[in-house]
Structure formats: structure tokens, C-alpha cells
């Protein structure tokens, strides 16, 4: 079973920065290593549905972002450590949410969906104005 552990969240003022980490372990349903999956970050704000934030291809050569974070966030990965990162700069109060990582699958248009059935506990990001 897949285990995803997110960390790095916290309370920050608007305009500040945070770097999130997601460590993956366990066995994927396909048996393939994590390094072969496109990985992504998703977030869920209070009272809202979970939404896509960013994704990175297995090699790290391609990255994808939601329009709301483009130019401010940067996703990266270290396959040797089975870890995915999200550098968040110029944070805004509307970025306040619990952030989760998961394997990501692009569906129609610009929509992305989580691929693993299980989620980690997430990491809380709170941006004060």
C-alpha cells in the first residue's frame, strides 16, 4: 500500500514563501516504482472541493500548473528519495488550504485527477493578510 507523507506547511504572511515536501513509500498498485509516475499536488480549502495545484512528469522534464498558481509556485522531484517538492512564493490568503500529494493523471482538457486511492494526512498552509 502507498504511503504519502506531506510536510512543510505553516503560517505565513501574504507575500511569504514555503516549501512543501511529500515523501512516498510502500508498494504501488501496479508494482511500478514511484519514479515512473507523474506526481502532483492538490489542495483543499475549508468548505471547498479538493483541487489540482501542480504536476511533474516522471523525469521532471515537464511541469504543469493551475492558472491560480502559475508563476508563483514551482514543483520539483528527487526520484532517488521518492520525494516531491512544492516551492510556494508570493503566497496569497486564497492559497490557504490543506495541501496533499498524489500521483496525477491528466484527464480531459486541463483537468487532473489523483491516481492513488489513498491520501496522506496533508499539510496545512495558512496565509494571513
CA angle 1, 48, 115 (to 5 degrees): 25
Q: What is the pLDDT of residue 52?
A: 97
Q: What is the pLDDT of residue 31?
A: 85
Per-residue pLDDT of the chain (129 residues; tens, 9 = 90+): 889 999 999 999 999 999 999 999 988 888 888 889 999 999 999 999 999 999 999 999 999 999 999 999 999 999 999 999 999 999 999 999 999 999 999 987 779 999 998 899 999 999 999
CB 44 within 8 A of CB 100: yes
For the residues of 1-57, what is the DSSP string, one character each? -EEEEEE--EEEETT--EEEEEEEEE--TT---GGGS-EEEEEE-TTS--EEEEEE-
d(CA 69, CA 57): 18
CB 114 within 8 A of CB 107: no
With H, G, I as helix, E, B as strand and everything else as coil, classify residue 66. coil
Amino acid at each position: 500500500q502507498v504511503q504519502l507523507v506531506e510536510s512543510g506547511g505553516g503560517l505565513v504572511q501574504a507575500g511569504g514563501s514555503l516549501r512543501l515536501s511529500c515523501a512516498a513509500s510502500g508498494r504501488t498498485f501496479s508494482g511500478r516504482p514511484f519514479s515512473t509516475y507523474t506526481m502532483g499536488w492538490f489542495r483543499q480549502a475549508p468548505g471547498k472541493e479538493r483541487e489540482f495545484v501542480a504536476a511533474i512528469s516522471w523525469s521532471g522534464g515537464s511541469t504543469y500548473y493551475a492558472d491560480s498558481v502559475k508563476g508563483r509556485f514551482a514543483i520539483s522531484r528527487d526520484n532517488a528519495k521518492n520525494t516531491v517538492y512544492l516551492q510556494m512564493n508570493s503566497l496569497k490568503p486564497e492559497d490557504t488550504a490543506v495541501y496533499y500529494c498524489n500521483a496525477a493523471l491528466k484527464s480531459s482538457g486541463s483537468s487532473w485527477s489523483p491516481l492513488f486511492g489513498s491520501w496522506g494526512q496533508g499539510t496545512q498552509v495558512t496565509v494571513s493578510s
